[in-house]
């Protein structure tokens, strides 16, 4: 019995390139995004994120290479791509003099959803984005956060499988951002593939299962969130705080352990770098306690996406 074929990637790019005059906005981008991913696309302004999303959304043609969404080539099969994606740009216009239901019904008609089904479809997407009670409101009377959620509802009106969201939380207050992130988690739970570019790296860290870092049109990293920390930082770092005992003597005992590569005293604590991410840092407590030191605190340093991003990029744009 032959093995089942692997699932088609949600997005696949091969040497994807885009040139504007003498400026290379995308430089041979090779990226694979799996179906069901909640994928974070990270980069400085001008790094190439929006260019990539616009190509995937069929609004921009590549200068070289290729890109496919669910197996459909974005150039040769643009119509097929548009049926399976929902694209929300970082800045989008809304018809502020229309009621919410009118606005969504209009786009439902654009996607040729039968009139008999549109009312339920509109109700369903409004429930998903948490705005059922605003269905009769004028869009212009809604807050920025609510307008963003209406924009997301519009993107969802034809039930796309892949969502391309360019800075969906841009300009939102903290509560509105939290609400937006909760909606994105629900969309992933429903089986959507969500690709989100954002500068709010702390939120991507907890939201996304995979990320890509891009700078000056080149891909620096793509893979699991945990993997980016392990690849970009050589060793696990732990901090030890002593209640009693000479820190210099403690350092002497710790230096004898092969699992430890570096120790330095900083602000009354010992910063201990292990040889790699697999090294067991429990040996630190073992050494200190067995040699009579009173250990007040031992904690592992959490390396977030913001630290990784600053470490691996130079902040350069095109």
Q: What CATH number should be reported for the domain holding residue 251? A: 3.30.70.100
Please state the rounded mean pLDDT for residues 292-308.
75
Residues 165-198 pLDDT 10s: 998 887 788 888 888 889 999 999 999 999 998 7
pLDDT (0 to 100) of residue 309:
62
Predicted confidence band of residue 229 (pLDDT cuts 50, 70, 90): low
Number of domains in the chain: 2
SS (H, E, C) the chain: CCCCCCCCCCEEEEEEEEEECCEEEEEEEEEEECCCCEEEEECCCCCCHHHHHHHHCCCCCCCEEEEEECCEECCCCHHHHHHHEEEECCCCCCCCCCEHHHHHHHHHHHCCCCHHHHHHHHHHHHHHCCCHHHCCCEHHHCCHHHHHHHHHHHHHCCCCCEEEEECCCCCCCHHHHHHHHHHHHHHHHCCCEEEEECCCHHHHHHHCCEEEEEECCEEEEEEEHHHHHHHHCCCCEEEEEEEECCHHHHHHHHCCCCCEEEEEEECCEEEEEECCCCCCCHHHHHHHHHCCCEEEEEEECCCCHHHHHHHHCCCCCC
Last residue of a domain, one of 230, 259, 289: 230
Indicate whether 2 pLDDT > 60.
no
Predicted confidence band of residue 277 (pLDDT cuts 50, 70, 90): low
- Per the structure, the complete domain to which residue 279 belongs is given by 234-302
Please state the rounded mean pLDDT for residues 117-123.
94
Last residue of a domain, one of 230, 264, 280: 230
Residues 35-88 pLDDT 10s: 999 999 988 778 899 999 999 999 999 999 999 999 999 999 999 999 999 999
Note whether 81 and 223 are same-domain residues: yes
Determine, yes or no, domain membership for 129: yes
Rounded Cα gap, residues 273 and 40, in angstroms? 29
Predicted confidence band of residue 317 (pLDDT cuts 50, 70, 90): very low
Note whether 217 and 246 are same-domain residues: no
pLDDT (0 to 100) of residue 203:
67
Note whether 89 and 59 are same-domain residues: yes
Structure-token pair, residue 260:
């430890």
pLDDT (0 to 100) of residue 303:
58
Last residue of a domain, one of 201, 230, 259: 230
Indicate whether 260 pLDDT > 50.
yes
Determine, yes or no, domain membership for 22: yes
pLDDT (0 to 100) of residue 304:
58
Predicted confidence band of residue 7 (pLDDT cuts 50, 70, 90): confident
pLDDT (0 to 100) of residue 312:
60
Determine, yes or no, domain membership for 206: yes
Note whether 177 and 267 are same-domain residues: no
pLDDT (0 to 100) of residue 262:
86
Note whether 52 and 137 are same-domain residues: yes
Please state the rounded mean pLDDT for residues 89-100.
82
149: CATH? 3.40.50.300
pLDDT (0 to 100) of residue 80:
96
pLDDT (0 to 100) of residue 231:
60
Note whether 86 and 138 are same-domain residues: yes
pLDDT (0 to 100) of residue 137:
94
């Amino acid at each position: 019995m032959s093995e089942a074929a692997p699932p088609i990637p949600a997005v696949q790019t091969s040497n994807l390139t885009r040139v504007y005059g003498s400026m290379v906005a995308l430089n041979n981008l090779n990226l694979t995004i799996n179906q069901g991913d909640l994928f974070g696309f990270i980069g400085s302004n001008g790094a190439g994120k929006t260019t990539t999303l616009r190509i995937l959304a069929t609004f921009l043609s590549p200068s070289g290479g290729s890109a496919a969404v669910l197996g459909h080539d974005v150039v040769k099969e643009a119509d097929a791509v548009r049926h399976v994606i929902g694209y929300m740009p970082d800045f989008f216009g809304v018809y502020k003099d229309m009621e919410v239901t009118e606005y969504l019904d209009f786009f439902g008609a654009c996607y040729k959803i039968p009139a008999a089904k549109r009312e339920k479809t509109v109700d369903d997407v409004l429930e998903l984005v948490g705005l059922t009670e605003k269905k009769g409101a004028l869009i212009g009377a809604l807050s920025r956060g609510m307008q963003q959620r209406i924009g997301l509802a519009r993107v969802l009106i034809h039930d796309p499988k892949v969502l391309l969201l360019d800075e969906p939380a841009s300009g939102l207050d903290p509560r509105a951002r939290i609400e937006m992130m909760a909606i994105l988690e629900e969309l992933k739970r429903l089986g959507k593939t969500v690709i989100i570019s954002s500068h709010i790296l702390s939120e991507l860290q907890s939201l996304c299962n995979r990320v890509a870092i891009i700078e000056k049109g080149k891909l620096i990293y793509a893979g699991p969130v945990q993997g980016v920390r392990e690849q970009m930082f050589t060793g696990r770092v732990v901090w030890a705080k002593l209640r009693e005992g000479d820190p210099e003597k403690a350092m002497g005992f710790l230096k004898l352990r092969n699992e430890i590569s570096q120790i330095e005293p900083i602000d009354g604590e010992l910063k201990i770098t292990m040889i790699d991410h697999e090294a067991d840092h429990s040996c630190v407590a073992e050494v200190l306690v067995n040699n009579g030191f009173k250990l007040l605190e031992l904690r592992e340093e959490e390396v977030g996406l913001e630290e990784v991003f600053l470490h691996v990029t130079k902040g350069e744009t095109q």
